[in-house]
Amino acid sequence: MWPCLSQQPWHSSLRSSHRRRRWVSSPECSGGATKWMVLSALIISSALALVFLASAQLTSDFESLINSSRLASGEGRVPIWGDTLRLLKAYALFGSGLGTYGTAFLKYQTAVVELDFTHAHNDYLEFASELGAIGFSLFAALMIAIAGRAIRCVKRAQEWDVRLAALGCAGAIAAIGLHSLVDFNLYMPANALSLAWIAGIAAGVPVAPLARRSLPSGDVVKVAAIGLALLLVIGTPVQIIAERTAQEDSEQSTRPIGQLLDAVRKDAASPHRWADVAEAMQRAGRRDEAKTTMATALRAGPNIPPLLLRAATLYDAVGEQPLAVRQTAHLLSLTGAYDAAVFDWYVQRGMSSADVLARGLPDSARATEAFIRYLMRPESCADVVPAWNVLVARARPDQQLAIDYVNFMSEQCRRNDAAARGWAQYLGSAANGYQQSDWVVNGDFESDASPLVFDWRIRGLNRDVEAALDDGLARTGSRSLRIRFAGRKNVDYSATGQTAYLPPGAYRFEAFVRTRAITTSEGIRFRIFDPDAPRRLDVLTDQVGGTSGWTRIEAMVRVPHETALVRINVVRLPAHVADDDIAGDISGTAWIDSVSLSSIE
């Protein structure tokens, strides 16, 4: 694990070689140039091995790590370090006390609140916040002195055994020190004991040959190292026992109030222990004291999600629902990890969606979006629309949420009017008259096709018909829809189209078609019909074939009250074989653009 632990066989073999051939101390092998050459060769070899022998998976993982935000935040550590600095500033001189980081930190935690951090993932920051400037300085001075002695021994000791032992200890201390920058090494008993053992060895290695020393020169360092070792050996088990006891106490909020108050006196910085007392007081009927005690708990941990839920439940139990809802709204503003728990809490207490929208959500689009998704159930159709209206008034929703909302309202709730209106609200200024002067979505084909229930479904037909967007040709804008026939069959094609919502009334359908070398008498046309009952509405436009420029196709469409949705399909009907020299097998290309349905009443 540490260099010091594995150096015994290494320097034993070197000692054996030293006795036999004396090559270790020869000028050729100990020269600075030789050492640098060997070191350079090792570095170059390692780099080449990493480049040429690394697996594709390793390379991909490394690249994704470099390009991700996890690296910038230290995998979530950097925000926690920032909050730890706030804790350190509050207890700068003497610290919060050894082993108290887990509870003292709760008052200052603002990042990654859905997780409970018992350690700072940085030993230096955690020690400094617990020990303060004075305690941390003493510990740092001791470790620096021990590490410095090991380094001096590497340079000055005449016995190679001693040099190698010192080198192993110095390397081990450096490794622990480096890793402690991003983890809590010394709070693990095995690592703490290893450091104590290594520090003791480093403090005991002689800088000068043993035969030439009359009195040891490092007695003070040795005594200090032994004292540190004893502190770590005794302190670590005591800390573990204390943490387990604290955990057991925190889980026993049903204990008598007196016992819970004793637990608070042992760890007054723990907000959960204050919450235990508050809940016990509430059960005992001491409502005012319960509210006051819970307020103390919230001051000790104002951004801790489980505590906020406990506070909300207590305030609701004592009749302070506005105060309870204030805690849940604050929780929703901190993290999305508790969305379902909070929304379930609202439902269990009989809050209507209007109340939740008015009081139970923070002024943020994220929480409102989460509430809309929570409401997307058939029994909640009436509640989703008001929530959506609140969301679009606050900010433009996420596109995927808008698509999900529209599809839910149309397919689950059968509220096609609300669905179409919701999409127009999402588009905002980019609606281009949708649901006002035009009832076709993406009629200019400038947007990519989406899963929206009202968007185009662009599909070919086996290898006989190819349908796709064309970026190279358009009547308006930069895109059009291209239909290409392969000349294999006399195809009956209607796979491309869209579903539209139109209020009852009269409309003018319009589209522009351009063709090139359509070989049969039957070309491209449109069919506008009621998919549920074509007998109520079924309009077939004129067709365009051969080779032509942009040609307008028009048709009058009257939508009856019984029609819920209208289907607009691009169609090519089979040609009559007797009218064609090539048996109706169609080839050629057609482009479609500027499709619209506008009201004429």
Band of pLDDT at residue 88, cut at 50, 70 and 90: confident
**pLDDT band for position 188 (cuts 50, 70, 90):** confident
Domain ranges of the chain: 252-302, 456-599
E strand or H helix at 162: helix 160-179
Residue 507 has pLDDT above 70, yes or no: yes
- Provide the mean pLDDT of the chain: 82
On whether the CB atoms of residues 485 and 587 are closer than 8 A, the answer is yes
Give the relative orientation of helices 365-375 and 339-348 as an angle to the nearest 10 degrees. 60
How many other C-beta atoms lie within 10 A of the C-beta of residue 489? Answer: 18
Question: pLDDT tens, 234-282?
Answer: 555 555 555 555 555 545 445 688 888 888 887 888 899 899 999 999 9
CA distances from residue 386 to 377, 401, 549 in whole angstroms, order as listed:
15, 15, 48
558 and 537 in contact (C-beta within 8 Å)?
yes
pLDDT of residue 460: 94
Architecture, CATH, for domain 456-599: Sandwich (2.60)
Q: Kindly tell me the sign of the dihedral angle through the C-alpha atoms of 315, 320, 325, 326.
A: negative
CA 359 to chain centre: 27
Neighbours of 174 (CB within 10 A): 15
Strand order in the sheet with 538-540: 456-457, 493-500, 566-572, 525-529, 538-540
pLDDT of residue 28: 39
Share of the chain above pLDDT 70, in %: 79
**pLDDT digits 0-9 by tens, 98-119:** 878 877 887 777 777 767 777 8
Asked whether residue 331 carries a pLDDT value surpassing 70, the answer given is yes
Among 443, 392, 456, smallest CA distance to 418 is for 392
41 vs 397, more confident: 397
Model's pTM, two decimal places?
0.64
Task: Render pLDDT for 470-498 as a digit per residue (tens, 0 to 9).
Answer: 999 999 999 999 999 999 899 999 999 99
What percent of the chain lies above the pLDDT cut of 90?
45
Counting Cα atoms < 13 Å in the Cβ hemisphere of 89 gives 8
Is residue 296 a contact partner of residue 274, using CB atoms and an 8 Å limit? yes
pLDDT above 70: residue 31: no
